[in-house]
Amino acid sequence: MAIDVGQVAPDFTLLDQDSNPVTLSELKGKKALLYFYPRASTPGCTIQAKGLRDSKVELDALNVVVLGISPDTPKKLTNFINKQELNFTLLADEDHAVCEKYHVWQLKKFMGKENMGVVRTSFLIDENGNIEHVFNKFKTKDHHQVVLDFLKTL
């Protein structure tokens, strides 16, 4: 069952890159961009993260908090942030429970092999905690621009 625009965003608490708990419902009053990505420090994920990093001033002006979610450990996330000079929070979903809540943990096919993994998807959560938009058709290098273009239509 997919998550649809208008429904309440499934709440969660995950550890950030510094092993501090972050709870989605505590962000009410701000928009949140939850972007799910397969793995820190891989080429596509790095391009996507750098685009968001370079758009942070614009996202801040639009009252949007960026939260990157992957099945990595907090330590891997810290390394990714430091190496790429990221300026937003990354969350560790090591058991992929949150990925499953958002229906982005799916069977994927890569180079003839099938395995479970994160399907790159982003959810814009409104100030009241509801799903405002789902981004699932974008290239990693354009992700930040697709998000900004949508936000500017609101």
104: Cβ contacts below 8 Å, ≥ 6 apart = 36, 118, 119, 120, 121
User: Euclidean distance between the first and final Cα of the chain, in Å?
Assistant: 27
Distance CA 62, CA 101 (A): 27
Is 99 tagged catalytic?
no
User: Could you say which of 9, 32, 45, 81 is catalytic?
Assistant: 45
Q: Are 38 and 118 in contact (CB under 8 A)?
A: yes
Distance CA 60, CA 145 (A): 14
Bridge partner residues of 22 (DSSP): 14
- Please give the positions annotated as active site: 45
